[in-house]
Amino acid sequence: MLQRAEILGVRDFYRDYFAVAVLIGAALLMVGAMLGAGRLIRPVRPQAEKYVTYEAGSDPVAGWGQSNARYYIYALLFLIFDVEAVFIFPWAVGLEGLGTFGVVEMTVFIVLLALGLVYAWRKGVLRWA
Amino acid sequence: MNPTIDYHALAPEIVLTVTVAVCLLVDLVARRSELVPRLASLGVLGAIVPVITLSVDGANRTMFGGTYEVDNYALVFKGLFLIVAYLTILVSFHYIGEGDYYRGEFYVLLLTSVLGMTVMASARDLVTIFVALETITIPTFALAAWRKHDTKSNEAGLKYFLIGVISTAVMLYGMSVVYGVSGANKLVGIREYLVDTNEPALFAVGVFLTLVGFAFKVSAVPFHFWAPDTYEGAPTPVTAFLSVASKAGGFVALITIVNIAFFPSKGSWQPVIFVLAAASMTLGNLAALRQTNIVRMLAYSSVAQGGFMLVPLAVAADVSSNSAWEGVVVYLLIYAGMNLGAFAAVIAVARRTGSAEISSYAGLGRTDPALAVMMTIFLFSLAGIPFLAGWFAKLVMFRAAFDSGTTGAVILGVVAAINAVIAFFYYAGVGRQMWFREPDPAVERTAVPTPLTLNAAMLIVTVGVLALGVYPQAIARLGELAFTPG
Amino acid sequence: MDLNAFLILAAVLFCIGIYGVLARRNGVLVLMSVELMLNAVNINLIAFSAYVQDVSGQVFALFVITIAAAEVGVGLAIVMLIYRNLRSPDLDKIDQLKG
């Protein structure tokens, strides 16, 4: 039953990774050069405020994470919508074959997702209190 | 090319989805908070209508390339889930309305979970089973932690969540191996692979991990330890829902996947189910004997009842007819009713005494005879006393075990018989408190009348338990129908 | 490429995840370990999907990703709730219910 399918030739596989390695090397070199140049040119005047996580002024929760607890709910909302968008990509590829039916189905999907956003909005989650 | 969609077959799911959306919106704009539970119960009753019309029609409807099937089997369970959902709403109405709970959201989450169950009844491939199972469980994590400021409820939610995600991960790992070895996602495809080929050992690993995942979901020993804590900490209506509906959801998934997919590979699943059944019955009952809190006692009793339900499943491969499968279904249907009734009675008693200790049931027969009679009926039905529904459930279970006649099945039958006797003691212990003990003057009683909805729920279950005890052919026929191709 | 390489990677990841779930006491880190387990499943699914030339494994992986996000969302909410009530994400302190 199982049929051995060639995923990639071994040699091609490593050749592809060689390109990745070259790219990583170039990136490191470039970042190092730019940061190094900055270090040589800039003046150094340390201040305590410069070292807090959010310079905007909200304090991170002490202890287990470097983030304000209030950010979590935005992160969550973003995460859910961002991840659910994954269903839209295969749909977009097959849209031509699906026609009106596909459009209607995706509208239903997005409306149901949007309901969640409406709920969050009405509950005042989106306001920074 | 448009996929053809049979809207009649999908009507129960569509009605539920629309109800969920409407409830969410109404909750945001309406001032009167009873509106949402009323809408929710209407929606559930509305979803039962297409289930009935589909059963009358009787034709098998297959959709989405064979991954979704609406047949008799699916319809029996859809009916069960919707009725349980309706009763849960009745039981929750005052409990949730009187606490400082988010009332609207409660029903939205409850119905979302029920939606997952109706999908589960029809799911015929690994992906759909997974999605349905998660639709059932994710809302219940939030429901278990519903009392926001009560750390016990928080703890219940967290424990349930952690066990839920870990069991999901284990189950998925097993499913990925099953998929990889068989090359099929549809359950029928997996079965075809097993019939054609001599499966490698890796397949058994996949089956084992999948079953372990399900064992967590249905709280079978040794994967049951979360159940008593979660049941005790969660709001009692949620506990009732978890111990009946989500457990049934897990069982439906288990029955579907074993019956359709894994069946030919008897060696890989039968021993696992056998051990789970024997361990759940024995350890569940022994732990229940020691409990002083009635919710914890019912939690362990539901672990043990789960073990009884697994008995026909464990012997199904050795019974030539469908009677073992019918046994599981009949047991599940009857268990759902009587357990829900018992929890409804616990809620009614807790409204008066504010306590869930078994000692607070002392003298209930004198202070509230009607409630005590109903509680006694539920408990005796769970114990399997003749001429109550639970007796017939036990009967079909034993019949399946002794029909198959293999040594293993007989051993399992004997273990089940011993356990049925042990179970009688703790169920009867509560009965003794209610009827033969003086009311404890130290326990404060408030004279709040039991709300109409709660009484209605208990009355419906009582009538059901009595009627099926006298006329069990009705439910036996349902079980038969479930495995008759339409 | 050999299928076994992917399967071994997935198995190792899965085991690290299980270890993390059992050994970590911080609620957030337990959640991350669970994610590790789920991603091990995804690797398995994708590798098998390419091996047996069947697309449904990839569809399965998509559903695993999205549902894991929903699951972690609810889980984080519960951990935050406990953090607010107890001022600690330490799971050892959550032991009122014993059975």
Output the pLDDT for position A64: 52
The residues in B 191-230 lying below 8 A from C, measured between CB atoms, are 225, 228-229
Chain C contact present for A106, CB below 8 A? no
C18, C30, C49, C60: best to mutate for the B interface, most B CBs within 10 A: C60
Does the distance separating the beta carbons of C69 and A79 come in below 8 Å? yes
- Chain A positions in Cβ-Cβ contact with residue C50 (cut-off 8 Å): 5, 7
Of B1, B17, B193, the CB nearest to A97: B1
* Alpha helices (H) in C1-99, listed in sequence order: 3-23, 27-51, 56-86
Return the C-alpha torsion angle A102, A103, A108, A114, nearest 10.
130
pLDDT at site A5: 44
3-class DSSP state of C55: coil
Check the CA dihedral B108-B112-B113-B115 and report its sign. Answer: positive
Taking a contact as any Cβ pair under 8 Å apart, which residues of chain C between 14 and 53 contact chain B? Answer: 14, 17, 21, 27, 30-31, 34, 37-38, 40-41, 44-45, 47-48, 51-52
User: Is A116 contained in some domain?
Assistant: yes
Q: How far apart are CA C48 and CA B215, in angstroms?
A: 25
- Cα separation, A94 vs A102, in Å, equals 9
**Looking only at Cα atoms, what is the longest distance across chain C?**
51
- For chain B, the straight-line distance linking the first and the last C-alpha, in angstroms and rounded, comes to 29
Q: Measure CB to CB from residue B154 to each of C45, C48, C85 and give the nearest one.
A: C85
C-alpha–C-alpha distance, residues B213 and B226, integer Å: 14
Q: How many domains does chain A have?
A: 1
Domain that holds residue A111: 10-122
Tell me the C-alpha distance between A38 and A29, whole Å.
Answer: 14
Looking up residue A99, the CATH number of its domain turns out to be: 1.20.58
- Position B252 scores a pLDDT of 92
Distance from CA of C14 to the nearest CA of B (A): 8
Q: Within 10 Å of residue A79's Cβ, how many Cβ atoms?
A: 15
Identify the structural domains of chain C with CATH numbers, from first to last.
Answer: 3-89 (1.10.287.3510)
Boundaries of every domain in chain B: 267-486
CB B136 within 8 A of CB B113: yes
By the 8 A CB rule, do B36 and B109 touch? no
pLDDT, one tens digit per residue, over A99-119 is 888 888 899 999 988 888 888
DSSP B68: E
Q: How far apart are CA A7 and CA B404, in angstroms?
A: 48
On whether residue A108 sits in a domain, the answer given is yes
B165:C48 CB<8 A: no
Task: Write out chain A residues lying below 8 Å of C1, CB-based.
Answer: 7-8, 10, 13
Closest CA to B263 of B252, B254, B276: B254
Nearest CA-CA distance, residue C10 and chain B, Å: 9
pLDDT on residue B44: 93
Q: Where are the alpha helices (DSSP H) in B145-264?
A: 151-182, 187-196, 201-217, 226-233, 236-241, 247-256
Q: Flag if C26 and A2 touch (Cβ within 8 Å).
A: no
Q: How far is CA B312 from the centre of its chain?
A: 16
d(CA B367, CA B363): 6
Tally of residues, chain C: 99
DSSP state of B368: -
In a mutational test of the C interface, the residue from B161, B209, B296 whose CB has the highest number of chain C CBs within 10 Å is B161
Interchain pair A101, B25: CB under 8 A = no
Each of the 99 residues of chain C gets a pLDDT tens digit; together they read: 678 889 999 999 999 999 998 887 777 788 889 999 999 999 999 999 998 888 889 999 999 999 998 888 888 888 888 877 776 656 666 656 554
Partners of residue B197 in chain A, C-beta under 8 Å: 1
**Residue A6: is its pLDDT beyond 80?**
no
Which burial class, exposed, middle or buried, applies to C26 when counting CB atoms under 10 A from its CB (0-12, 13-18, 19+)?
Answer: middle
Mean pLDDT taken over chain A: 78
Distance from CA of C13 to the nearest CA of B (A): 11
pLDDT band at A1 (very low <50, low <70, confident <90, very high): very low
Chains that touch A (3 or more CB pairs under 8 A): B, C
Are B6 and B57 in contact by the 8 Å Cβ rule? The answer is no
In a domain, A3, yes or no: no
The pLDDT tens digits along chain B (486 residues) read: 566 778 888 889 999 999 999 999 888 887 677 888 889 999 999 999 998 888 888 778 888 888 888 888 889 999 999 999 999 998 888 877 776 667 788 899 999 999 999 999 999 999 999 999 999 999 999 888 888 778 888 888 888 898 889 899 999 999 999 999 988 888 888 888 888 888 888 888 999 999 999 998 898 888 888 888 888 888 888 999 999 988 999 999 999 999 888 888 888 888 899 999 999 999 999 998 888 888 999 999 999 999 999 998 888 888 777 888 888 888 999 999 899 999 999 988 888 887 788 888 888 888 888 888 888 999 999 988 888 888 888 888 888 888 887 888 888 889 999 998 999 888 988 888 888 887 777 666 666 777 888 888 888 988 888 888 888 888 888 888 888 775
The answer as to whether A105 is a domain residue is yes
Cα distance between residue B433 and residue B355, in whole Å? 14
Q: A128 lies in a domain?
A: no
Out of A2, A98, A118, name the one closest to residue B2 (CB): A98
